[in-house]
Structure 1
Amino acid sequence: MKVDIHTHLLPPAMPRFAERFGYGGFIALDHHAPCRARMMRDDGKFFREIESNCWDPKQRVVECDAHGVQVQVLSTVPVLFSYWAKPQDGLEVARFLNDHLAGAVATAPKRFVGLGTVPLQSTDLAVKELERCVRTLGFAGVQIGSHVNDLNLSDPALFPFFQAASDLGAAVFVHPWDMMGEAKMAKYWLPWLVGMPAEVSLAICSLIFGGVMERLPKLRLAFAHGGGAFPGTLGRIQHGFEVRPDLVAVDNPVAPRDYLGRFWVDSLVHDAETLRGIVKLFGADKVALGSDYPFPLGEERPGTLIESLTDLAPSVREQLLSRNALEWLGRSHEDFAP
């Protein structure tokens, strides 16, 4: 069984939110060819070319069958988070995306699991939409960004959201977005190659150093892209904690290494040795299949890298392909039995 925790979905048409709200920055779709569309910012700037597998649940099932994927965890495309929007407008965007996602899950509830989105620019509204996602729409949890405008995830203003997620037993998937230093990385696709890994490390460090993980030990967090730059810089992070606690340990006296095994990461690292490394670092029970389907920087056939590690015991590969994902989601194999 394969359970892919990192896949993205959006509606086949987006409302003209700029016209509705009176300001820009939102994404619209230009269906310029059969089964193809351009994601366009409302200032006319091109963002990304997508195909029908980005919005059509039936096409996704066809491709899942071809790739041997039994279950996809669906979450929105991070550019649609819209944290910069006015809070009530952000809530309207989130509700629109979540209602569509719930409809997609309903087309194949044995094949899809939903992760909603919430307007984190207002913690109160985010908590209410989180509750609706879990209690009304039946989602396993939500996907959030690696920061919220000028706030890192350690900011006290965001803690009530994490508290609510812990209380609800909601899975939280943290995905990079709005990458730091993007203005300096215009060439070579560097925001995706350099900025995204840095953003994931920023999120992990913020949640550790800010004491969120310490205060909420039952919070089920998973991070995209194998934890980004965090695994490769953990030695430096730990050393900084030890030699300058006056700067690093100001909100949480517990060492970063003590949180290994407390959260999940996906397997999307594109390199066998790196995957072996994160399995050793985080634990064989804390790495779950993630492909970034259906985007080109993802894994074309989900699970191929995990399956290539024949030096790992079959039981470990099974953990990576499905069991760890189900544990994080709070689901079981029986939930997806035909």
Structure 2
Amino acid sequence: MGKIAFEEHFMTPGFEAYSSSFISLIEAETARVLTRRLNDFDDERIAIMDRNGIDKVILSQTGPGVQGEPDVQTAIDRARQSNDFLAERIARHGDRLAGFAILPMQAPETAAEELERCVRDLGFKGAMVHGHTDGVYYDARQFDVVWDKVQSLDVPFYLHPTNAKQDPFCFADHPELLGATWGWGVETGSHALRLLFGGVFDRFPDIKLVLGHMGEGLPFLRWRFDSRFEAYPCGVTLKRKPSEYFGSNILITTSGVCSHHALIGAIGEMGAENVLFSVDYPYESTELAAEFLDTAPLDDATRQMIGRDNAVRLFKL
């Protein structure tokens, strides 16, 4: 089975400052390796794919990208710059690499136009956006133009973690809870729930939102979302039960959660056709992720569905 992975990152030249606060927390030698791998498209990246049975990866600018840019015009210009840079690098290995667009969500109409350009002209497979833009979430109606374009182009929108606009008070004096350990999942899962309860999937029923890290834990609470929303709807009306948007609109990847128990639980909640393999390279180990899938207690058909077939269908490969 040739695997396909699509939470696999790179760094656009000049974007390093956006990630500096995150990278600065990492031990110096680890940061050096990460930087080398983020900047490589030809040698180490392809060799690691070959060693671990990964046929194709869909690359995305590492976070927060232009979502961390306060100036709107600069965000627009740099998004286009990054997307053009990625398209040039993909062209050198078109059989192995593909791309996600980054979008200047500071300007929703321009973001929609940039997505269309990237899909139609550059051949990109969708978009990856690194969470909110300066504390603005995408259930707000000004982003409907983006969701309409996502739906009409029939490409997925990967909602990737980022830092909260303001750290929750319960994290005070516990910096270890910030970032990827816990805080990013809380932030991103909450953003996804805003989209669900904010009616985005009712207004645009065909969009596919992708969440990494076993869906940021949300699939395991589907029953509770239904139970408590029925008890406390707070004036919100949805066309379906909250649990029913999982699988139809929300898909998940295995990135960064190499637990067989979690995988079996996610399949039980989501259905195998809505769970997809990914690594989160270079922040997670490709070797460990590949071994995790290869040794998972699955029949061969389900393993291939998660490792490859679901991605082929989602990205029309």
CA contact (8 A) 2:252 2:276 kept: yes
Partner amino acid, structure 2, of 1:196? W
How many angstroms apart in 2 are the aligned matches of 1:192 and 1:138? 31
5+ unaligned residues in a row in structure 2: which ranges? none
Q: CA deviation at 1:285?
A: 0.3
8 Å CA contact retained: 1:182, 1:191: no
* Partner residue of 1:264 out of 251, 256, 266: 251
1:188 aligns with 2:176: yes
Alignment check: 8 A CA contact 2:67 2:129 kept: no
Aligned equivalent of 2:313, options 294, 308, 327: 327
In the other structure, the counterpart of 1:52 is 36
Residue 215 of structure 2: aligned partner: 227
Please state whether the residue corresponding to 1:197 is helix, strand or coil. Answer: helix
SS of 1:116's partner is coil
Distance 2:99 2:25 in 1: 24
One-letter amino acid of the structure 2 residue matched with residue 155 of structure 1: A
Helix, strand or coil: the match of 1:147? coil
Bigger proportion of residues as strand = 1
Instruction: Find out whether 1:126 has 2:104 as its counterpart.
Output: no
In 1, Cα distance between equivalents of 2:96 and 2:288? 17
The answer on 1:27 being equivalent to 2:14 is no
- Count residues with an aligned counterpart: 304
If asked which structure has higher relative contact order (CA below 8 Å, sep 6+), I would say 2
1:88-142 C-alpha deviation (Å, 9 max, x unpaired): 1101111121111111211101101100101001101111111111111110111
Query: Is the CA contact (8 Å cut-off) linking 2:67 and 2:134 kept in structure 1?
Result: no
Question: What corresponds to 2:157 in structure 1?
Answer: 172
- Superposition map of 1:77-92 within 5 A: 77-92=62-77
* Residue 271 of structure 1, CA deviation: 1.3
Inter-partner Cα distance in structure 2 for 1:104 and 1:202: 34
The structure where helix makes up a greater share of residues is: 2
Structure 1: how far apart are the matches of 2:72 and 2:316?
30
Structure 1: stretches of 5+ with no match in the other structure:
16-25, 29-38, 332-338
Change over 3 Å in CA distance of 1:126–1:113 after alignment to 2:
same
Q: Which residue identity is paired with 2:163?
A: D
* C-alpha distance in structure 1 between counterparts of 2:238 and 2:70, whole Å: 32
Aligned position for 1:63: 48
Partner of 1:36: none
> Aligned-pair distance for 1:299?
4.9
2:224 to 218, 236, 256: 236
* Amino acid in structure 2 at the alignment position of 1:14: G
Give the Å deviation of 1:253. 4.1
Per the alignment, residue 240 of structure 2 pairs with 254
Corresponding residue to 2:92 among 101, 107, 110: 107
Residues 139-218 of structure 1 mapped to structure 2, 5 A cutoff: 139-179=124-164, 182=167, 184=171, 187-188=175-176, 190-218=178-206
- With over 3 angstroms needed to count, the CA separation of the structure-2 counterparts of 1:75 and 1:202, relative to structure 1, is same
Give the percent of matched residue pairs that are identical in Structure 1 and Structure 2: 24
Given the two structures, how large is their TM-score scaled by the length of structure 1? 0.83
In 2, are the aligned partners of 1:69 and 1:302 still within 8 Å (CA)? no
Q: Secondary structure at the match of 2:110?
A: helix
Query: Hey, what's the Cα distance between the residues in 1 that align with 2:270 and 2:290?
Result: 18
Secondary structure of the residue aligned to 2:273 is coil
